[in-house]
Amino acid sequence: MAKEVLNQKPVNPADRYKLRHPFGLVYGPDDSLWISERRGRVIKVDPVSGMKRDILNIGPSVKFTNSGTSIKQDGMMGLVLHPDYPFVDSFFIAYAYDNAGVTKVRITEYAVKNYTITTRAGNERIIIENLPAGVDHSAGRLITGPDRKLYYSIGDLGANQFALRCNPNRAQDVPTAAELTAKNYIAYQGKVLRINLDGSIPADNPIVKGIKSHIYTFGHRNPNSLVFAKNGQQQDFLGAKLYSAENGPAEDDEINQLIAGKNYGWPYYSGYRDDKIYQYKNWSSAPNCSSYPAPGSEPECSTAPPGTIIMNETDTLLPNAVFPMRTFFTPTTGSIACSWLSNPTVAPASIAYYGFDNRIPGWQNSILMSTLKEGTVFRLKLSADGNSFVSLPNGSDTARYFREENRLRDIAIGKDGISFYIITDSVGQTSGPTTGNPNQLNDRGAILKYVYNGAVLSIDEPVDNPQADRLYVKIYPIPASQFITVESKRNIAKPIQYHLYNTIGSVVKKGTSARDVFTIATGGLPSGLYILELRDGHDIKFATQKLIIQK
């Protein structure tokens, strides 16, 4: 694949730039790249020219920690566009902030302006705040699902290792009813959350250990990657499976399928329940834990203080436990090097889903995983049911791409199905693609663009393209008062499902119709802006329309 460094492409040298500790990357329906930077900035980049525009810059309000030439795992993190973008011209962002000396995270919504937003006041709508965060294992990935919910990942905050060795690991905890009432979310460490667009708890969230909360899954170490499967046109669809990549300790990075209410094992299990290398050495259980020096490596590569509770993986049988679809890598021997750069891990940083069934041969239904330590994008092809991985032509279930000495923080796929965009870390180390210098990064703070230049399959117009929508459906009158008429072509599979949303994402009307022409009563709704979403009988979205109801 051909490579270019997009941020160095602008013709005028003064317009060239480097990213400042980037975290999130989104390829938007407006054919722009949206990027969040830990220092508190959101930028929008033209994927052809590389020119950028600052959308948000609230650095003074963001808790960002650096230490010498390295940075910590706080700052501005997950970024996602509103599910109705560009009809609703806004985005959601997660960032760390200082709360009376304690680092927390808030998720907020900002409407896009024609200037750079530099202040929170009057611009920010808080969705939820007081979420746990810290200098290690904050995770911080934020996406929306086809169910129009926010999904946000939180790690275990580095509990039980290094300088935080005496902090108890809370990945198995759930909040009490009193804590939820007080909006005390400290027990959300080591979880993936599912959140309504207004910050409330979805009514259909799972009950975990007797409590319904924002928790969707639990028992995670550092789940810094989330993605839903797409259909053959790279579109969301209801019922899509959710996948995550997660950092292991000194072994066993994971790819998981996330299922509501399930337990992913940490800190009792790392990877599979196989008693290979990993033991849960619970430093916080040791008397006078803080009097012992911090370990120089992960707990399984260190000697625990006297009195520490130590458990093998098979010592604990967790209910509702789910094991990884794949690990990177489970040791085959009884020992490892216990050196970060040579331990059997790859440090996954993000995952993307490749759904196109009409572009790169053999790639449809694949997971792409970018990595930090190995500087590689792994491709794994899912089985037809999405529950396992299948062998590729190379005889393995994985293939490596773009391998060089860069820390690949996030990856996005262009709408053409052959362009791939990767943002790279500004600082850090890799293990090198060979035995190269681990301190050398080729492209610091960069946007790398790779374009597939091999044979492609034929491509069709995506049916959710706003220009294509008008070929399939007419929606009138706009503005509406008492009713809306929907007129669709006969070749649209029936029944048609419709959902009418207000601007905060709540469903105000829903239903189905087997007719080509039908009406939706709106007389009981207040005046304002609404979004109508239509799905066909195959549960594929084929139209989204902004509506105004005026009385």
The 10s digit of each residue's pLDDT in 71-124 is 999 999 999 999 999 889 999 999 999 999 999 999 999 999 999 999 999 999
The answer to whether residue 458 scores a pLDDT higher than 60 is no
> Which has the closest alpha carbon to 521: 531, 529, 511, 507?
511
Distances (CA, A) of 351 to 143, 228, 248, 358, 370: 12, 10, 16, 21, 6
User: Is the alpha carbon torsion for 461, 464, 466, 468 positive or negative?
Assistant: positive
> Which has the closest alpha carbon to 448: 361, 376, 526, 535?
376
What is the CATH number that goes with domain 466-549? 2.60.40.3080
Beta-carbon contacts of residue 253 (< 8 Å; ≥ 6 apart): 245, 246, 247, 327, 328, 329, 345, 346, 347, 348
Give the active site residue among 21, 137, 214, 220. 137
Residues 483-509 have a mean pLDDT of 85
Residues 222-241 have a mean pLDDT of 94
Residue 314: CB atoms within 10 Å: 11
Rounded percentage of the chain residues whose pLDDT exceeds 70: 95
Distance, CA of 187 to CA of 108 (rounded, Å): 21
Rg of the chain over all Cα atoms, to the nearest angstrom: 24
Q: What pLDDT does residue 439 have?
A: 55
CATH 2.60.40.3080-classified regions of the chain: 466-549
Distances (CA, A) of 133 to 102, 144, 337: 9, 20, 30
Split at pLDDT 50, 70, 90, the class of 488 is confident
Q: Which two tokens stand for residue 144?
A: 């929306």
pLDDT digits (tens, 9 = 90+) for 340-378: 777 889 999 999 999 999 899 999 999 999 999 989 999
Residue 177: CB atoms within 10 Å: 11
61 in Cβ contact with 117 (< 8 Å): no
209 in Cβ contact with 174 (< 8 Å): yes
Tokens 């300790």 locate to: 249
Give how far the C-alpha of residue 253 lies from the chain's centroid of Cα atoms, to the nearest Å.
16
45 in Cβ contact with 430 (< 8 Å): no
535 in Cβ contact with 542 (< 8 Å): yes
At 162, phi and psi to the nearest 5?
50, -135
The answer to whether residue 208 scores a pLDDT higher than 70 is yes
Q: What b/e sequence results for 9-48 when a residue is b if at least 16 CB atoms lie within 10 Å of its CB, and e otherwise?
A: bbeeeeeebebbbbbbbbbbbeebbbbbbbbbbbbbbebe
The answer to whether residue 153 scores a pLDDT higher than 50 is yes
Q: Which two tokens stand for residue 546?
A: 């902004």
CATH 2.120.10.30-classified regions of the chain: 21-345
Q: What pLDDT does residue 10 have?
A: 97
Q: What pLDDT does residue 466 have?
A: 37
The answer to whether residue 137 scores a pLDDT higher than 70 is yes
Q: What pLDDT does residue 112 have?
A: 97
User: Is the alpha carbon torsion for 445, 52, 229, 79 positive or negative?
Assistant: positive
Split at pLDDT 50, 70, 90, the class of 493 is confident
Residues 399-407 have a mean pLDDT of 92
The answer to whether residue 467 scores a pLDDT higher than 80 is no
pLDDT digits (tens, 9 = 90+) for 232-267: 889 898 899 999 999 999 999 999 999 999 999 999
Residues 122-148 have a mean pLDDT of 97
Strand 242-246's sheet: what is its strand order?
A: 225-228, 242-246, 253-258, 326-328
Residue 4: CB atoms within 10 Å: 13
- HEC readout, 379-394: EEEECCCCCCECCCCC
**DSSP string of 390-416?**
---TTSSS-EEES-SS--EEEEEE-TT
Q: What pLDDT does residue 463 have?
A: 36
> Which has the closest alpha carbon to 322: 247, 239, 262?
262
> Which has the closest alpha carbon to 40: 22, 16, 66?
22
**DSSP string of 80-139?**
EE-TTTTTS-EEEEEEEEEETTEEEEEEEEEE--SS-B--STTTEEEEEEEEE--SS---
**Residue 55: CA atoms inside 13 Å, Cβ hemisphere, count?**
23
Q: Which two tokens stand for residue 535?
A: 């799905």
Tokens 């190379």 locate to: 394
At 164, phi and psi to the nearest 5?
-100, 25
> Which has the closest alpha carbon to 200: 509, 529, 526, 506?
506
528 in Cβ contact with 503 (< 8 Å): yes
CATH class (in words) of the domain with range 21-345: mainly beta
Q: What pLDDT does residue 339 have?
A: 78
Range in 98-112, 154-168, 262-276, 523-537 the model is least confident about: 523-537
Residues 387-401 have a mean pLDDT of 92
The answer to whether residue 387 scores a pLDDT higher than 70 is yes
> Which has the closest alpha carbon to 233: 354, 346, 137?
354
Q: Is 137 a catalytic residue?
A: yes
Q: What pLDDT does residue 378 have?
A: 97
Tokens 């963001």 locate to: 62
Which residues are paired to 131 by β-bridges? Answer: 105
Distance, CA of 537 to CA of 492 (rounded, Å): 8
Distances (CA, A) of 172 to 271, 303, 321: 16, 24, 11
Q: What pLDDT does residue 472 have?
A: 65
Distance, CA of 382 to CA of 364 (rounded, Å): 9
